[in-house]
Amino acid sequence: MNALETNALSKSFGGLKAVSDLDLSLGQGEILGLIGPNGAGKTTVFNCLSRFLPMDSGQTIFYGRDITDLKPHVVSQLGLARTFQIVRPFLTISVLENIMVGALVKEKSVKKAKAQSMSILELVGLEDVKDRPASELPLPRRKRLEMARALATKPKVLLLDEVMAGLNPTEVDELIVLLKKINRQGISIFLIEHVMRGVMALSNRVIVINYGVKIAEGPPDEVVKNKQVVEAYLGKEFLSAQG
Amino acid sequence: MKRLYVFLALLLTILLILPLFLDKYVLGIFVMIFFFAYIGQSWNILTGYTGHISLGHALYLGIGAYTSTYLAQTYGLSPWIGMFIGGGLAVIISMFLGFLGFRFGLRGVYFVILTIAFAEITRLLVSHIEALGSFSGIFLDFSPSFKNFQFRGNKAYYYISLCFMVLAVIVTRLIETSRIGRFMVAIREDEEAAESLGVNAFKYSMIALGISAFMTSLGGTFYANFIYYLHPNIMFGMNFSIELILRPIVGGMGTVLGPVLGSFILTPLSEISRVYFSKGGLEGLHLVLYGILTVLIVLFMRRGVLVYVQKLLNPILKLEDESK
Amino acid sequence: MDQMTLGLQLAVQGVLLGGIYGLIAVGLSFIFGVMGIINFAHGQMIVLGMYISYWILVLLGIDPYLNFIAGACILFAMGYLLQSSTVNRILDFPEAMQVVPLVAVGLVLENLILMLWGPDHRSPETAFNLSTIWIDKIMIDGSKLIAFVLAIVLTLGVFLFLKKSNIGKSIRAAADNRTGAVLVGINVNRINNFAFGLGAATTGAAGALLLPLMPVSPHMGHDFTLTAFVVVILGGMGNLWGALLGGLILGLAESLSILVLPPTMKQVVSFILLIIIMLFRPQGLLKGHK
């Protein structure tokens, strides 16, 4: 049974078809990468999977269960967590309290939720700012907070939307280590990424979409050599210049 | 935190002893301070903590006041019981309002207008119901007894309203540190992000609204039996709704002690300006002062006065620690 | 009078009233369209406009249909000052904190009026010897007709001003894209001041036009604000034609409701209409902006 799969996912905005007839599956324990040029429809896919946007057609199945018509918070409670491309921390409350909100979804006791949140804090490396308001955090640490919060909900699948954007190479490497650690704990990860180093280092498989259509799928090193993929990113002229 | 509790216990003790030294008139001012702190706190639970702005909270005051009064006058039912029936009714109506507002995704100003519309419609409807006094209002008979929730002098009202205020503070603190309270704050900060974590925003918004409506309506019953006169334009009016929110805003929304502090600042101000200035025909001056003060606070002390008071008292009370 | 005539009479009154409602709402809609701010003090400004017109009439003998210009100018200045001192600062505040200051300003205005001129209703003693016009069996009140015509003219005036004048274009630019406007050298703060002033000016004018129709007292503000809300939401926030259309619809709905409800319940109709629109078509009948 796949952790997450979708069949024939389609979504249009007005006259624009953002995603066409997309099939994808995420195996249990797998790390799946989703790449494609800007505007390819990647975040739209996430928004549909996590039920923030209704799909025009298609089905989403989570651990064998059809979640196509469920509300976003229900889907999250079932174990499908996501982060946002533009991070959305709860600004006026502390870092620890931010994470506790996630923990409290499944843990009714505030005391236990606090303890759980503390260990997640340590996992992502934010213990030193645990009582600072989230508004004081710089962007890279806000990204960690966003992940920590999602992790606190004890998800089975984590959808990460460009978590490496805006990070310097050292920060990217640290994040790769962290994500591998999270994956080893049994959480399947589906990540949208532009930072190729991250995609290559983490993904078991990669899916490439362009203009809402899947154009390639396979292990990372194969996919990046795929002619269509190169053309999508760099354009026809580049390809012909290459000969 | 311990020092804070000691400090508060000290203040409370002072408040408990004060009636021995104060005359009826001053006691009456305190009653109003406690009353407005109480209903301000009730509003705070919805708007300060959950972030849904209500400018029609007088609706619940009116429901409480009219329900208990009607039941008392028609069936001789003690307002102590009528109070809770009014509370129940307030919850039901608030659930209706909340359903319309939250299910249909009315956000921000649209929700504000919805709350105003509900209060206004109720005001107009009640103005047409004979049994509720129609356009002349209802005068309550003065027959003091505990059962009737009516008392001679202001001492009893003082202690009852003090009780209300303290209970509201405790309830707010309990909510703040509970699971429900944290979800409420998350909804205020970013409802979609909260939903993405699994928080059922609709459910917790409704809970906050229901608690707020219930508490506010209890205050309405108290008010009716203190003022002895009800009129729909007063009890459901925008003026009351506005007065209700000024104290928590000045004191600090989304905090436990903000509404209390705000009431201790604004209510005496109101009384003093009413006494000293209305003789010269300057009726309404206290509201002008309120208004100006509120604007200044929103512009320059957005989070309310409480934050500054905390900073001031920090050296003595050591407030800045790992609270919660 | 038979039902048909009564109905027609009410419809006519409704339309006339509607035009005035439109003018009442235009300022509110306009300010929202440009700055995204709901002027909760709108009604109190209208009341101030009424008092200004009253005093000019009583002291100088100039008709409201002429002195509305004075009210418009005074309120323009007031609006300009209010924007520059206060509203400009709250433009980036979260919504809750935008509502509160303007509500407070309304509170201040209302009670200043109360302090200055007392709580009693005032009606100008000079009668407006405007003849009532008869069309067949339908009576049209002269005051209402003039108010209606002037309201439409003024609304059109605002609309043309926005379209044709330089300042109008700057206002529309700033409303459309603040950053872009700044980049092309528009002083957005100054434009906002002007815009709020313009919105306030319409309340000054509206107040003068309303004076012949009803006695004025300090606490009428809220009713005007709420009526303006209903109209603006009906027609679409930020859409000036929507304000006119919304006004007409509301005027008609309220007038015709007299056929089935006591007149004092008119407002219940408008509020229920308001709720229905908010639930099912929040963008209004003529899609609003922002």
Q: Long-range contact list for C111-114, CB < 8 A, 24+ apart?
A: C111/B284, C111/B285, C111/B287, C111/B288, C111/B291, C111/C218, C112/B284, C112/B288, C113/C44, C113/C47, C113/C48, C113/C51, C113/C218, C114/B283, C114/B284, C114/C218, C114/C219
Question: Does residue B280 sit in helix, strand or coil?
Answer: coil
Query: Residue B28 burial (CB < 10 Å; 0-12/13-18/19+)?
Result: middle
Instruction: Walk across the sheet containing A157-161 and list its strands.
Output: A80-82, A157-161, A188-192, A31-35, A205-210, A213-218
User: Rounded to 5, what percent of chain A is helix, strand, coil?
Assistant: 45, 25, 30
Average pLDDT over residues B50-57: 94
Residue C4 and residue B97: Cα distance in Å, rounded? Answer: 38
Contact B284 C111 (CB under 8 A): yes
- Tokens read off for C155: 């609304």
Question: Nearest-CA neighbor of C95 among A75, A239, B191?
Answer: B191
pLDDT digits (tens, 9 = 90+) for C149-204: 888 888 888 888 888 888 888 888 877 777 777 788 778 888 889 989 999 999 99
Residues of B with CB under 8 A from a CB of A: 177-179, 182-183, 185-186, 189-190, 192-201, 322, 324
With contacts defined as CB-CB under 8 Å, which chain C residues touch B51?
Answer: 96
Contact of chains C and A by CB distance (3 or more pairs under 8 angstroms): no
Query: Residue B214 burial (CB < 10 Å; 0-12/13-18/19+)?
Result: buried
Residues of B with CB under 8 A from a CB of C: 47, 51, 53, 55, 100, 104, 106, 108-110, 112-114, 116-117, 120-121, 124-125, 127-128, 238-239, 242, 245-246, 249, 253, 281-285, 287-288, 290-292, 294-295, 298-299, 302
Along chain A (243 residues), what's the average pLDDT of each consecutive run of 10 residues? 87 85 89 87 87 87 90 93 92 95 94 95 92 93 93 94 88 91 93 88 91 88 82 69 58
Average per-residue pLDDT in chain C? 86
Of B51, B284, B294, the CB nearest to C115: B284
Domain boundaries, chain A: 4-79+155-242, 88-153
Lowest mean pLDDT among A73-77, B234-238, B242-246, B287-291: B287-291
Handedness of CA A142, A144, A147, A152 (dihedral sign): negative
Which pLDDT score is estimated for C132?
74
- Say whether domain B2-317 belongs to CATH 1.10.3470: yes
pLDDT digits (tens, 9 = 90+) for C11-35: 888 898 898 888 889 889 888 888 8
How does strand B138-139 pair with strand C133-135? unpaired
- Tokens read off for C187: 């002083």
Residue A80 and residue A83: Cα distance in Å, rounded? Answer: 11
Report ipTM for this prediction. Answer: 0.89
Contacts of B103 (CB under 8 A, 6+ apart): B202
Cβ atoms C204, C54 nearer than 8 A: no
Which pLDDT score is estimated for C221?
92
Return the partners of chain B (3 or more C-beta pairs < 8 Å): A, C
Residue B145 and residue B147: Cα distance in Å, rounded? Answer: 5
Average pLDDT over residues B275-279: 68
Percentage of chain C lying above the pLDDT 90 cut: 31
Contact A105 B186 (CB under 8 A): no
Contact B295 C226 (CB under 8 A): no
- Tokens read off for B32: 């109003």
Residue B192 and residue A143: Cα distance in Å, rounded? Answer: 17
Average pLDDT over residues B38-45: 97
Lowest mean pLDDT among B146-150, B157-161, C107-111: B146-150
| CB pairs < 8 Å spanning B and C | 112
Question: Nearest-CA neighbor of B193 among A130, A99, A190, A117?
Answer: A99
Cβ atoms A25, A76 nearer than 8 A: no
Cβ atoms B94, B213 nearer than 8 A: yes
Task: Name the fold adopted by A4-79+155-242.
Answer: Rossmann fold (3.40.50)
Backbone angles phi, psi at A224, to 5 degrees: -70, -15
Question: Nearest-CA neighbor of C22 among C259, C252, C191, C273?
Answer: C252
Give the count of alpha carbons within 13 A of B6, CB side only. Answer: 7
Which pLDDT score is estimated for B322?
41
Query: Residue A213 burial (CB < 10 Å; 0-12/13-18/19+)?
Result: middle
B265, containing H or E segment: helix B258-278
B230, containing H or E segment: strand B229-230
> Among all chains, which residue has been given the structure tokens 């509970």?
B178
Nearest chain C residue to B250 by CA: give it: C100
